[in-house]
Copies of this chain bind each other. A is one copy, B any other.
Amino acid sequence: MTAYNAPTRDMHFVMNDLGLLPAIQKLPGCEDTNTELVDAVLEEASKLAGSVVAPINTTGDLEGAALENGVVRTAEGFSDAYQQFVDGGWNSIPFDPDFGGQGLPWLVGIAAEEMWISANTAWSLCPMLTMGAVDLLSEHGTPDQKATYLDKLISGEWTGTMNLTEPQAGSDVGALRTRAEPEGNHYRIKGQKIFITWGEHDMTDNIVHMVLARTPDAPTGSKGISLFIVPKFLVNEDGSLGQRNDLRCVSLEHKLGIKASPTCVMSYGDDGGAIGYLVGEENRGLNCMFTMMNNARINVGLSGLSIAERAYQQAVAYARDRVQGSGPDGEPLTIIRHPDVRRMLLTMKSSIEAMRALVYDTATILDQSRREQDPTAQKAAQGRLDLLTPVVKAWCTDLGVEIASMGVQVHGGIGYMEETGAVQHLRDSRIAPIYEGTNGIQAQDLVARKVLRDGGAAAKDYIDEVRMLCQALADAGGDTAASLNTHLSAAADALTETTDWLLEDGSADVSRAFAAATPYLKLFGTVAGGAMMARSTLAAQAALDGNTGDPDFYTAKLMSARFYADNILPQAAGLIAPIRDGYHAVLGAAEDSF
Q: Which residues of B contact A413 (CB under 8 A)?
A: 165, 170, 194-195, 434-435
Contact A172/B254 with A440-B341, A571-B571 known, Cβ cut-off 8 Å: no
A341 vs B589: C-alpha distance in the bound complex, in angstroms?
12
Q: Which residues of B contact A575 (CB under 8 A)?
A: 570
Partner of A412, one of B170, B479, B517, B584: B170
- Of A114-122, A231-239, A375-383, A424-432, the one contacting chain B is A424-432
A405 at the interface (CB under 8 A from B): yes
Q: Which residues of B contact A555 (CB under 8 A)?
A: 590, 593
Partner of A170, one of B324, B556, B563: B324
A175 at the interface (CB under 8 A from B): yes
A244 at the interface (CB under 8 A from B): no
Residues of A432-456 at the interface with B, using a CB-CB cut-off of 8 Å, are 433-435, 438-440, 443-444
A573 at the interface (CB under 8 A from B): yes
Q: Which residues of B contact A426 (CB under 8 A)?
A: 256, 430
A496 at the interface (CB under 8 A from B): no
Contact A168/B323 with A418-B256, A434-B416, A563-B585 known, Cβ cut-off 8 Å: yes
Contact A586/B346 with A324-B171, A573-B574 known, Cβ cut-off 8 Å: yes
A417 vs B325: C-alpha distance in the bound complex, in angstroms?
41
A524 at the interface (CB under 8 A from B): no
- Of A75-83, A131-139, A332-340, the one contacting chain B is A332-340
Q: Which one of A339, A413, A514, A593 has the greatest number of beta carbons of chain B within 10 Å?
A: A339
A26 at the interface (CB under 8 A from B): no
A371 at the interface (CB under 8 A from B): no
Return the chain B residue nearest A349 by Cβ: B594
Q: Do A592 and B552 touch across chains, with their CB atoms under 8 A apart? A: yes
Partner of A483, one of B253, B581, B593: B581
Least CB distance from A256 to B in Å reads 4
Q: Do A587 and B552 touch across chains, with their CB atoms under 8 A apart? A: no
Least CB distance from A266 to B in Å reads 14
Contact A586/B416 with A427-B256, A434-B409 known, Cβ cut-off 8 Å: no
A264 at the interface (CB under 8 A from B): no
A93 at the interface (CB under 8 A from B): no
A222 vs B586: C-alpha distance in the bound complex, in angstroms?
51
Contact A559/B593 with A339-B587, A342-B515 known, Cβ cut-off 8 Å: yes
Q: Do B405 and A586 touch across chains, with their CB atoms under 8 A apart? A: no
A573 vs B570: C-alpha distance in the bound complex, in angstroms?
8
Q: Which residues of B contact A340 (CB under 8 A)?
A: 440, 443-444, 514-515, 517-518
Q: Do A401 and B405 touch across chains, with their CB atoms under 8 A apart? A: yes
State the copy count for this chain.
2
Q: Which residues of B contact A336 (CB under 8 A)?
A: 591, 594
Return the chain B residue nearest A569 by Cβ: B577
Q: Which residues of B contact A514 (CB under 8 A)?
A: 338-340
A152 at the interface (CB under 8 A from B): no
A462 at the interface (CB under 8 A from B): no
Q: Which residues of B contact A412 (CB under 8 A)?
A: 170-171, 434, 438
A308 at the interface (CB under 8 A from B): no
Return the chain B residue nearest A558 by Cβ: B585
A493 at the interface (CB under 8 A from B): no
Q: Which residues of B contact A324 (CB under 8 A)?
A: 170-172, 175
A370 vs B99: C-alpha distance in the bound complex, in angstroms?
78
Return the chain B residue nearest A195 by Cβ: B413
Least CB distance from A174 to B in Å reads 8
A339 vs B448: C-alpha distance in the bound complex, in angstroms?
13
A562 at the interface (CB under 8 A from B): yes
Return the chain B residue nearest A438 by Cβ: B412
Least CB distance from A371 to B in Å reads 34
A255 vs B423: C-alpha distance in the bound complex, in angstroms?
9
Q: Which residues of B contact A443 (CB under 8 A)?
A: 340
Q: Do A254 and B418 touch across chains, with their CB atoms under 8 A apart? A: yes
Partner of A574, one of B416, B572, B586: B572
Residues of A552-567 at the interface with B, using a CB-CB cut-off of 8 Å, are 552, 555-556, 559-560, 562-563, 566-567
A272 at the interface (CB under 8 A from B): no
A458 at the interface (CB under 8 A from B): no
Return the chain B residue nearest A588 by Cβ: B559
Known: A253-B417, A340-B515, A556-B590. 4 other contacts (CB 8 A): A339-B586, A556-B593, A563-B585, A563-B589
A-B contact pairs, 9 of them (CB 8 A): A170-B324, A175-B324, A253-B419, A254-B418, A340-B517, A483-B584, A566-B582, A566-B584, A567-B577
